[in-house]
Amino acid sequence: MNPNRNKKKRKNNKETKSDYIVSADAVSFGIVCQRTINQRKISKTNFGYPRNVIIGFGGKSNNVLFEYVSSKENMELISGFFSQMNGGEEFKIEKPTGEWTDGVSKKRDYISGTYRHLSYKNNNIIIAEKTPKEGEPKIEGDSYHKCLSGLHFIYPPEFSKNNPLNSNMKISKITNYLNQKTFSDLSIASGDTIRLDGTQHNDETYTVLEYTIDSGREILTVTPQIKQDEDRIAMETRISKLHRSNKSVERTQVRPTSGNVVNTQQSQTSTTSTTSNQTSPTRSTTRTTTTRSSSSSSPSGGGGGMRSTSGGY
C-alpha cells in the first residue's frame, strides 16, 4: 500500500473583492428625484484626488500634466469636462484646492489658477499650460519636472469653466426641499458615491457630479440617470454616503497527489473515516491484553491459572 496515497496538498487562493460600505447616512422627508436636467448649469466639478501631477516638461516650465485613476466614475467625470473642449480653451482650478504638502516641506499652492487646455488622453490624462492671471499663484522656477503625489493634496483639485459639461452621459438631479441640510450634514461633495433607499423606483447607487444650493434647496447632480421622476416629499427616503472597502476572501482547495481536486468538506469526511479505521484495531488489542489474576476465585483444581476478561479470546 502506498503510504502517500492519502496525503493531500492544500492550495490557498485569496480573492480580493471591492465592495461599498456606508460611512454615513440620514433620513429625509423632502427628496425629489428628477430624471433629466439641463447640463448647461454644470460648470464645476472635481475628479477626486489625482494619482500624480507633473509640473514643467517639454521645455516649458508652465506645462502641467494631471494623471487620474482609470475608474469608471473618473472617466465619466473627466470626459464630461474635457472630451469636447477645444485646444486653447480656458479652465480654472479653484483656490484653495491646489494646496499641497508632503508633511516635510511647507504647505504651498502649486496648481490653483487659470489654464489653457492642450490635450486630453486615455480618459485619465489631462495636459494643460498654466497661464496665471493677476493675483493667481505662479509656477516657481525650481518646479521643473516637479512630481506631486496626489496623496499629499489637502483637497481634491476642483476644476471649473464657463462652458457646460459636454459629455454624452445621462445625468439627473436629487433635490432636498427641506430646510434641514441633509446632504451637507453627510459632507456629500462632487466625486462622492451615494445610495438612495426607500424610494419606489430609484433605489440605486449614484456618483455625485456637483453639489449646489439654489434658493435654500440642496441639489445633487448625479449619474447614472435616475430611472423615473419621483416626488418623495412627506415620505421617508434614506440617503447613504458610501466608500469602497477591499475585502480579502481566502478559499482553500485540497488536492490529492493524483491531481484531482476535492472540496474541503469531502476531505474532512475522508479524514474522519481514516481515523475511525485506525482506532478500531487499537481498541481490540487493548481488550485482548487486559487480564486479571484469578487465583482467589478460580474453582478448586483450577491450578490458579489466569483467565482473560474478554471471555475466551
268-299 tens-digit pLDDT: 444 444 444 444 444 443 344 343 443 434 44
Beta-sheet pairing, 90-93 with 60-67: unpaired
Q: Is residue 284 part of a domain?
A: no
Which pLDDT value is given to residue 169? 58
Residue 128 has pLDDT above 80, yes or no: yes
Cis ω before 164 (30° cut-off from 0): no
Three-state DSSP at 77 gives: helix
Confidence grade of residue 244 (pLDDT, cut at 50, 70, 90):
confident
pLDDT of residue 106: 86
The region of weakest confidence among 58-72, 79-93, 215-229, 248-262 is: 248-262
- Cα four-point dihedral sign 191, 195, 199, 201: positive
Q: Could you tell me the residue range of the domain that residue 226 belongs to?
A: 18-40+168-248
Same-domain status, 96 and 150: yes
Total domain count, the chain? 2
pLDDT at 13 over 80: no
C-alpha cell at 250: 481566502
Which of 160, 185, 211 is the last residue before a domain boundary? 160
**Which 8-state DSSP code applies to residue 101?**
-
157, 166, 169: which is closest to 47 by C-alpha? 157
Residue 50 falls inside a structural domain: yes
Which CATH number is 189's domain given?
Answer: 2.40.30
Q: Does one domain contain both 135 and 55?
A: yes
- For residue 258, pLDDT beyond 50: no
Give CA angle at 272 (269, 278), nearest 5°: 145
Do 122 and 188 reside in the same domain of the chain?
A: no
The CA-based diameter of the chain, rounded to the nearest angstrom, is 128
pLDDT in tens, 229-239: 999 999 999 99
- The pLDDT assigned to 146 comes to 92
Q: Which of 160, 193, 217 is the last residue of a domain?
A: 160
Cα gap 150→87, rounded to integer Å: 25
| Residue where a domain terminates, one of 248, 264, 280 | 248
